[in-house]
Amino acid sequence: MSRARTNPLNSVAAHAALITYTLIALFPVWVIVTNSFKSRRAIFSEPLALPDADSFSLIGYQTVMRQGDFVLYFQNSMIVTVVSLALILIFGAMAAFALAEYRFRGNTLWGLYLALGIMIPIRIGTVAILQGMVATGLVNTLAALILVYTAQGLPLAVFILSEFMRQVSDDLKDAGRIDGLSEYRIFFRLVLPLVRPAMATVAVFNMIPIWNDLWFPLILAPAEQVKTLTLGSQVFIGQFVTDWNAVLSALSLAVLPVLVLYIVFSRQLIRGITSGAVK
Amino acid sequence: MHKPRSRRRWHIAVFLAPAVLVYSAVMILPLFDTLRLSLFTEGPEGRVFAGLANFRTLFGDPNWSRQFWNALANNFWFFLIHMAVQNPIGIALAAILSAPGLRLAGFYRSAIFIPTILSFVIVGFAWKLILSPIWGIAPSMLDAVGLKSWFAPWLGREETALTTLALISVWQFVGIPMMLIYAALLSIPDEILEAAECDGVTGWSAFWKIKLPLILPSIGIISILTFVANFNAFDLIYAAQGALAGPNFSSDILGTFLYRTFFGFQLQLGDPYMGSAIASAMFAVILVGVCIYLFGIQTRIRRYQL
């Protein structure tokens, strides 16, 4: 890198700006998590202090564990997110392969049709989605949420994956055909393993919005048995709004899973964004 | 399908079918069904066709139209704050991050992105607690820099609630423009910047004259993504202020208005037909925005072949 573009003064200013903004970004999370380990009195008297031997208390977590079924909520969120992602990836990859690999009448039209959903939010159709779920008896089931999130994730998945599938070498696929592989085997055995990085990008993009969604759980699956973690913590906090220990603990418990997911996948996510997957 | 391939190529249909079926059944058909339902109303014997009556109520009845225009105007203000605060901050952070040889860039990037991965519920309640006059974190921090008199219960006042919520949302999502612009800046070839350097264009003027024109298409994409996200926003306002979008509807936007109308609140019963009418209006707003972007902006932005 050329030296003309860096001088020490600039770099100090750059670090100062970045540190300031990092503090702004992390401060609220920090305050919530540290205070969740304090007694009620310490929360109010010394909100910015770290918990010490005197002020340390797990009473909030005890209330949360006694009153809210957070293990069940977590399990529901997990099922919905994992199954939706699996369906988005497999259905999206199949459709992307059909559009990228074969020339057939209506190819462009199907592509455009599937791309519509990238710009139009699925929430606009909520009234009719709820009626459809009522008619098919899917209200208050995890299946309703899985269907909605799959439909919501497919357009972008097809778009990104078909871009990548066009880059898979034709020679490889033709070699497979000469060896007598069926089109299905060519897709599952040859093409899918090659687009695995793109599939990971699609999965990471979809994971966080599905996990964090409040609208559809609230409307399609509000029953206790099928509450997701996001809806569960919303309802719990609404009921315990004056019990600050419980609220702070519930918030910390809700932060934890996404934070773990983020730490595990952040490299993938950042590589996905910066490799120009969204253009 | 010519002679060499006379057999029907069923596998194409098999590959396309699952995605097309789920997408059509759960997204496209309900979308059009919602538009259709906005033309019906509840009669004494079930659903009856009502033509444009719902829209006449929505725009003509003073009770409804006041709420609708309030929500729409609030929504525009919400969007404007995002455009005016979120995107400049995102671009500035990306510009600083992309400086060559910056240490810890990966750490800053990951840390600043953390709020974006949190759910609206966490973000809404966390800020509600921090800004709460009862807890006193915000006033005592302002006190530390000598600005205690600035403090007010911002979320509880009609004049400031919406702006405060918009700024919370900006805090949450600044990571997205930052990442996209960062990616665009990294894709600018070094030769261009070095050529500019030879001509004496460095530092700030290099940013304004060379980099900014090159990342304009990315800024355009960010703007339309922000627009669509803002005009179907709901979660943050619902988590922080409840379905009534208080105080006195001052933070009501189209998403919360739709939710209240569709599900009912307090004494008002839920009305799926008026709900559909509001959803149709939202659809129209988003469609107009996307068209302005596609035909008005995207085609005019000059793109440079890199």
Contact B164, B131 (CB under 8 A): yes
Angstroms from A113 CA to nearest CA on chain B: 9
Count of beta carbons in the 10 Å neighbourhood of residue B296? 9
Residue of B nearest to A276 (CA): B183
Residue of B nearest to A158 (CA): B19
Say how many domains are in chain A.
2
Closest listed residue to residue A186, CA positions, set A200, A197, A170, A201:
A170
Q: Is residue A135 part of a domain?
A: yes
On whether both A40 and A116 belong to a single domain, the answer is: no
On whether both A162 and A131 belong to a single domain, the answer is: yes
On whether both A23 and A126 belong to a single domain, the answer is: no
Contact B88, B178 (CB under 8 A): no
Q: Is residue A257 part of a domain?
A: no
Domain B63-297: give its CATH architecture.
Answer: Orthogonal Bundle (1.10)
On whether both A221 and A121 belong to a single domain, the answer is: yes
On whether both A84 and A109 belong to a single domain, the answer is: yes
On whether both A128 and A207 belong to a single domain, the answer is: yes
On whether both A90 and A155 belong to a single domain, the answer is: yes
Q: Is residue A269 part of a domain?
A: no
Give the pair of three-digit tokens for residue A278: 């969204």
Q: Is residue A150 part of a domain?
A: yes
- Which residues of chain B are within 8 Å of residue A6 when distances are taken between CB atoms? 99-101
- Chunked mean pLDDT (size 10), chain B, 306 residues: 56 94 96 94 85 91 93 96 95 89 87 90 88 81 78 86 95 91 87 86 83 89 93 92 87 94 81 94 94 86 71
- The contacts of residue A32 (CB under 8 Å, 6+ apart) are A248, A251, A252, A255, B122, B126, B129
On whether both A75 and A149 belong to a single domain, the answer is: yes
A162 has a chain B CB within 8 A of its CB: no
Q: Is residue A253 part of a domain?
A: no
Closest listed residue to residue A206, CA positions, set A173, A240, A161:
A161
Residue A273's alpha-carbon distances to A146, A202, B215, in angstroms, are: 25, 10, 15
- Which residues of chain A are within 8 Å of residue B29 when distances are taken between CB atoms? 128, 132
Q: Is residue A264 part of a domain?
A: no
The residue range of the domain holding A150 is 68-239
Summarised one tens digit per residue, pLDDT across range B149-194 is 778 888 888 889 999 999 999 999 999 899 889 888 888 888 888 8
pLDDT one digit per residue (tens) for chain A, 279 residues: 444 455 667 788 899 999 999 999 999 999 889 989 998 888 888 888 888 888 888 888 998 888 878 889 999 999 999 999 999 999 999 999 999 999 888 899 999 999 989 889 999 999 999 999 999 999 999 999 999 999 999 999 999 899 889 888 899 999 999 999 999 999 999 999 998 888 888 888 888 899 999 999 999 999 999 999 999 989 988 888 888 888 889 888 888 888 888 888 877 777 777 665 444
- CA dist A212 and A228 (Å) reads 9
Domains of chain B: which residue ranges? 3-37, 63-297
Cβ distance B9 to A104 less than 8 Å, yes or no, reads yes
Confidence (pLDDT) at B3: 42
> DSSP alpha helices (H): ranges in chain B?
10-23, 29-37, 53-60, 62-81, 87-97, 105-117, 120-131, 137-144, 161-173, 175-186, 190-198, 203-206, 212-231, 235-241, 254-263, 272-291
SS3 at position B40:
strand
- CA dist A242 and A231 (Å) reads 19
On whether both A40 and A86 belong to a single domain, the answer is: no
Count of beta carbons in the 10 Å neighbourhood of residue A272? 23
Is the backbone peptide bond immediately before B247 cis, with ω within 30 degrees of 0?
A: yes
- CA dist B296 and B143 (Å) reads 48
Cβ distance A270 to B113 less than 8 Å, yes or no, reads yes
Confidence (pLDDT) at B7: 58
Confidence (pLDDT) at B38: 93
Residue B140's alpha-carbon distances to A19, A21, B130, B144, B209, in angstroms, are: 21, 20, 11, 6, 43
Identify the domain boundary among A42, A62, A82.
Answer: A62
CATH of the domain at A201: 1.10.3720.10
On whether both A123 and A226 belong to a single domain, the answer is: yes
On whether both A40 and A90 belong to a single domain, the answer is: no
Cβ distance B115 to A230 less than 8 Å, yes or no, reads no
On whether both A93 and A222 belong to a single domain, the answer is: yes
